[in-house]
Amino acid sequence: MSGLEVKKPRACILGIGGTELSNWEKGFFREADPYGFILFARNVEDHNQIRTLTDQLRDVVGKNNVPILVDQEGGRVMRLKPPHWRKIPAAGVFGELVDKSPEDAREAAYINARLMAMDLREAGFNTTCAPVLDLRFPGMSDVVGDRSYGADVARVVVLASAVAAGLLDGGIAPIIKHIPGHGRAAVDSHKDLPIVSATRAELSELDFAPFRQMKDVMAAMSAHLLFTAIDDQRPGTVSTTIINDVIRGDIGFENLLISDDLSMEALGGSIASRTHECLSAGCDIALHCNGKRTEMEEVVSMTPLLSGAALLRSQNFTNQISSFKIDKPSSSQLTDWRMRLADLLAPVWQAEDTGT
């Protein structure tokens, strides 16, 4: 050891306002040094623009392995979209294919993730907030809906594992979500707080099971749900009981825990208080997505530099990103993958527009 203190990033992931960094954002991010960034459709125009932007983000914090996240699941949740990128089926499509051929469904999920990873790498991303491990329960809010691989634990795990493997093989770090399970949300957590009344035994047997079986994935995103049988006062993201007893205990997840977006209306109080509460409860990283200046200033004001177990988990995650050594697939390999994927999905889905 040289004795030099390694600079520790701040325990937050932040969004940005537009398609390029403003002078204020450059100065703010340089000073705040957030652990990572997350981009949305508002930040994306085309291939050249998004690559320039992701390169700018690396430059402003001076780290090539800074996590740069995007919600690229497929279906309704796609930030890189046609016509510049291919249309990607929703998770539910792969779940539907399981009924016709489980092996085809698993192969299709892997190939799709491998192609998605290539798109993301070319755009300068190294992380995607996928796969979704939430179960699909009848009569619940469409906030999950076809973002889920299905209602059966084994089906979800088989397909989500194939997706995680395809992402990793393509040089993209997966973040599983929404731990410990968002499937029973009867309302959209972007707008209101879902209240779940299932028993602890039911939740452990069903909702928590996919996460338990995929607990070795290096990062997970929390769920803004109130589980009345476990903590009837505080949603999961800000509940010490949920994080310690369920996520770290029952599920056994020991890796990096990132909050879901703190600007969602499921959480009450100011942005500053939400930030403090999620980190105090046991989240390692506070996630804030909307890029609003005053809110980001609140987040940063309440976010310490990473330390202790959270620092170790964050370093393990960035080490995974640094370890990716990916050769770009040949054009013939890409053609083979695309043709094979189209054949596998043909019984359940056709892409009207495959993008470029």
Catalytic positions are: 190, 260
| Rounded Cα–Cα distance for residues 143 and 225 (Å) | 12
Residue 169: name the closest of 89, 115, 219, 105 by CA.
115
Non-local (6+) Cβ contacts of 17 within 8 A are: 25, 42, 291, 292, 293
**CA-wise closest residue to 288 among 22, 79, 69:** 69
H/E element, 318: helix 308-323
How far lies 332's CA from each of 183, 201, 336, 339, in Å? 39, 50, 6, 11
Q: How many CB atoms lie within 10 A of CB 282?
A: 20
CA dihedral 260, 264, 270, 276 (to 10 degrees): -10
106, two tokens: 């698993």
Centre a 10 Å sphere on the Cβ of residue 212 and count the other Cβ atoms it contains: 17
To 5 degrees, how large is the angle CA 352–CA 355–CA 356? 145
Three-class SS of residue 78? coil
